[in-house]
A = this chain, B = another copy of it.
Amino acid sequence: MSGSSKRLTAGVDLGGTKIQTVIVRDGEVTGSARSLTPQSGVPADVIEAIVETLHTALQAASTDDEQLAGVGIGTPGEIDKHAGAVSLAANVPGFSDRVELGPLVSEQLDGVKVTVENDVRAGVLGELRQGAGRPYRNLLGVWVGTGVGGGLVLEGKLRDGRGAAGEFGHMVVKPGGRRCGCGRRGCVEAYAGRASMERRARRLVERGHNTDLFRIMEQRDRQRLSSGVYARALEQGDTMAEKLIEKATWALGLGLASAQNLLDLEAIIVGGGLGDRLGQPFVDRIVEHMAPHLFVAEKPPVVIGTELKDLSGAVGAAVLASG
């Protein structure tokens, strides 16, 4: 095994529905693989699926796990970095209690070092080092998906705070406003997180409003209003979808203006399932809502989508593994 082969790292993006892995050498993705997250509710099945997906990606990169310098895993939930453990990852079957994710994966890979990080932070790191964030040293990554997560980068470093920095989704944009999944009211996530938007849509339907959202969902054999469902509904000019997205971009824009006034950032990157899927028109609407509230209006931050799209998280996890 030569020195240069040890520059090979793997990144895993663990989600509630899929597992995305990449193999990275010298900053280039040389192989990738994706599988569905087992829905059995047993952590061991998820661990096995991660390892299998890693092996598939290694094969795609024409290499094997003996060449790996390290593995990074991005996962939802609360991270105990030191132990490589994750708690409260409610969207991953079997992961609502604490899982020793790092050690369990490492065990299956002959003891290779495994680093565990929050999935949003991993995604933002991926964009910072290998994607749209490369030109910037001070930026906020806003990941719009089931919830709204954030990763704050200052002077080129992802900020931890005391462990909970970057919770952009829980900045308050409307006091006494819509109920958020966190139990509070008026958070950005209450308007821009898919879970909250779906609760809102269901309530509107109960009240007699019309929409094609749930019909499209069923046609696509989905259980939830996914980002693809919103994209299709918007294409069809569905009024409820338009209003929900309008309100989401309003909340994101308002929260971002406040964050910008406080931090004077160079750039904002909008990612996550909904951000990636809806792309530039979504980003443009956010900018329109943000602009009127910027204190230094003549010097707005650059606002852009991701470059790596749904590979951000896995690439960022691989970056972690190399550090």
Contacts and interface: CB of A to CB of B under 8 A. Distances in A.
Interface of A: 138, 150, 152, 154, 159-168, 170-175, 182, 184, 254-255, 257-259, 261-266, 292-293, 295-296, 299
B170 A261 contact: yes
A310 to B, nearest CB: 25
A257 B159 CA distance: 18
Contacts of A182: 295
A217 to B, nearest CB: 30
Contacts of A160: 264
B258 A172 contact: yes
Given A159-B154, A182-B295, A264-B162, A175 B174 contact: yes
Given A161-B265, A258-B258, 7 more contacts: A154-B159, A160-B264, A164-B295, A165-B263, A167-B261, A167-B295, A172-B173
Contacts of A262: 150, 152, 165-168, 171, 259, 262
Nearest to A301: B162
List the number of copies, as a whole number.
Answer: 2
B266 A172 contact: no
Contacts of A167: 261-262, 264, 295-296
A173 B262 CA distance: 13
Given A262-B166, A295-B182, A257 B161 contact: no
A184 B264 contact: no
* Most chain B CB within a 10 A radius of its CB, from A174, A258, A266: A258
Given A154-B154, A159-B154, A266-B162, A261 B171 contact: yes
9 nearest A-B residue pairs (beta carbon): A161-B264, A171-B258, A165-B264, A170-B295, A167-B261, A170-B261, A164-B264, A164-B296, A167-B295
